[in-house]
A and B are shown apart, each in its own frame.
Chain A
Amino acid sequence: MRETAVTATEQVQSWLENFTEFEKTAPGAKLAWLKRLREDAFARFCEAGFPTTKDEDWRFTNVAPIARTVFRPARAAKLTADQGTVFQPQGKTAATLVFVNGRYAPELSEASGVPKGVTATSLRARIETHPETLEKHLGRYADKQRDAFVALNTAFLADGAYLHVPRGIVVDAPIYLLYLATEEAAATVTHPRNLIVADDESQVSVIEDYVSIGGESVAFSNAVTELIAGESTVAQHYLIEREHLKAFNVSTLRIQQGRSANVASHSLLLGGGLVRNNVHPVLAGEGGECLINGLYLGTGRQHLDNFMHVEHASPHCGSRQFYNGILDGNAHGVFHGRIVVHKVAQKTDAKQTNRNLLLSDDAQIDTKPQLEIYADDVKCTHGATIGQIEENALFYLQSRGISEAEARKLLLLAFAEECVERMHSVVAREHIEGLIRQHLLFVENAPQASLGRVSERAMEEVG
């Protein structure tokens, strides 16, 4: 196999064909501002190309497998109601929006339960009916200059979720967004684009769940979500990646926080072969709080990259990053946490913690804290640990009659539970807990050898 199957020019050429075709039928093709947004973004993508490992932000993640693949836009597909519901949380949701191969599927969706005044619809519908409400926010926050994947998504933006919560409205149950990718003959790409606008003093939680159905065919989800949280707004965002192992998933969550807004980003990476999860909050108003909480469970040859870029742009804001990883087989995990404290952001309190369990000799984690501090009165701490299942704890459980396999599973669940406990929405938490338990079943069934050796080596400080 040639490593460089597609040259840089050929790479752009195939995307150019896609883009030319896309522009003819794109929603809002006649809107000047939207056309410009897409064309500027595409020009930026052509200029920059996909990043390489020479780029500091991509040092640990090689996206050449994405760059050298020729993708076609995923085709529309019809699913039965059952296929849409089987993945959904057990608990009550305020609305469920289902997207099949990047397109909104109204027949599988249900949005009538949202409180009065709240909008939960597809971005495509919104572009077609009320484009004037979008111009102010759409594409204004996600960084298409610096990030080629955001540029590409913006160039192809057509559908996704549009959520608007007016001032003072509390949406109790979470809004559930399901992205289904079906099996196709050729490699396909979707660019889900979500815009969540939560006005001042409102409250909302949103779950994004990425799932593949059918056999494994190469599929690339390149998603961008812009979440705008107004003053004193409380917002929670959950991302679940559980696509099959031939899937590429690059998702970017860009959060814009107003004064005293309290926002949480939770992520669970279980599936996907090559996954990059970008979380980029900007604490733009005083007194904001941001929690970024993530869990990644990798096995086989999975590559799971968590990239955080937390920007403190106002005084008296707090941010917390907690990431736990469990890596088995030849899996490769990345935690890259950048905290930037702007000159004005005095009294910033930022903390990041990354804990990892490596279950096999061939599993790998790269963890990199990166602090850029331009203010002088701030508190920033970071720490990272890499360890194995603690032999003491394992023996303690076994000495009470619990089998070694069960004891290992309990210890892994306990480690994962640290992240799950930080999730406030009961519906989201139970959904995620169920997925983790299901995922960890392999521990019980796997032969001893693949569970990794046990060592008394203590947790080791690396950060």
Chain B
Amino acid sequence: MSLLEIRNLHVTVNGQEILKGIDLTVNAGEVHSIMGPNGSGKSTLAQVLARRDAYNVTEGSITFDGKDLLGMKPETAACEGVFLAFQYPVEIPGIGNTYFLRSALNAIRKYRGLDEMDAMDFLPMFREKLALLEMDDKLMNRSLNEGFSGGEKKRNEILQMAVLEPKLAILDETDSGLDIDALRIVAGGVNSLRSPERAMLVVTHYQRLLNYIVPDFVHVLVDGRIVRSGGKELALELEEKGYGWTEKDAPQAVGARA
């Protein structure tokens, strides 16, 4: 059984169809990249997987770990093991970073029937993950993402992922706005989390990130459809020829390893 199975997914936002029949299968241990031009529906797909309710699924199904993902609330999906690293992480004044992350971890542990982690157990683990992302622990005393630079926010997303240890990590344009040093750190964090039990969906506009996080599969999303799927070399081809090439060359939707 695959970890994630998306079948004929149609999604509308404010009455406009954004995803027009997506088929995608992701197995545990695999890293898939979804590439596509602006407005192709990449972020919509990421948000639907995280169960944001502003999106209206009109057709199709998503099965996650054998369960109907579309029937889940965002928090249930998270507890089942879905994690979305946001393109634009939200600043929330008044909620401390550390407090938030421990609350999230304990909510997930409780769902899975595990004991809650107290501060004594949490802190050593947390420090280790902070070091992995080369983050200053002073940031953690501040409010959630408040006053963080763009790079700090993206690193904080990966830090959360490292602490929450999801089965499926979705990275939504995690590379955008990062300088090369920050990109290396973020990619290093992500790579250290690759494992046979975990799958990743890396959504990106540019090929650059994929030099650091090397995908097993690349899918090209154009106008709400996956128009091409292939190995990592597809990303390089895209970089060279641009998205226009896929639209010209591949008029029909191609299902990914259905």
Contact = CB atoms under 8 A, between A and B. Distances in A.
Given A395-B74, A396-B86, A396-B89, A402 B107 contact: yes
A411 interface: yes
Contact of A396 (B54, B83, B90): B90
Contacts of B100: 397, 400, 410
B213 to A, nearest CB: 21
B74 A399 contact: yes
Counting chain A residues whose Cβ lies within 8 A of the other chain, the interface size class is: 20 to 34
B95 A414 contact: yes
Given A393-B90, A406-B107, A400 B160 contact: yes
B78 A399 contact: yes
Contacts of B107: 400-403, 406
Interface in B52-91: 52, 54, 73-75, 77-79, 83-84, 86, 89-90
Interface in A86-131: none
B94 A413 contact: yes
Interface in A363-420: 390-393, 395-404, 406-407, 410-411, 413-418
B108 interface: yes
Contact of A417 (B94, B104, B105, B111): B94
A404 B73 contact: yes
Contacts of B147: none
A401 B79 contact: yes
Contact of A414 (B51, B77, B94, B103): B94
Contacts of B77: 399
Contacts of A397: 92, 100, 104
B94 A399 contact: no
A415 B86 CA distance: 23
Contacts of B94: 413-418
Nearest to B104: A400
Nearest to B99: A410
B200 interface: no
Interface in B102-146: 103-105, 107-108, 111, 143
B50 interface: yes
A3 to B, nearest CB: 43
Nearest to A392: B90
B164 interface: yes
Q: Which of A395, A401, A414, A418 has the most CB of B within 10 A?
A: A401
Contact of B111 (A401, A404, A416, A456): A401
Cβ-closest 10 pairs across A and B: A414-B94, A400-B104, A398-B74, A401-B78, A417-B94, A396-B90, A401-B108, A401-B107, A398-B75, A414-B95
12 contacts: A390-B90, A393-B90, A395-B74, A396-B86, A398-B78, A400-B104, A403-B107, A406-B107, A413-B94, A414-B93, A414-B94, A456-B54
Interface of B: 50-52, 54, 73-75, 77-79, 83-84, 86, 89-90, 92-95, 100-101, 103-105, 107-108, 111, 143, 160, 164
Given A397-B92, A414-B95, 7 more contacts: A399-B74, A400-B83, A400-B160, A401-B105, A410-B95, A413-B94, A416-B94
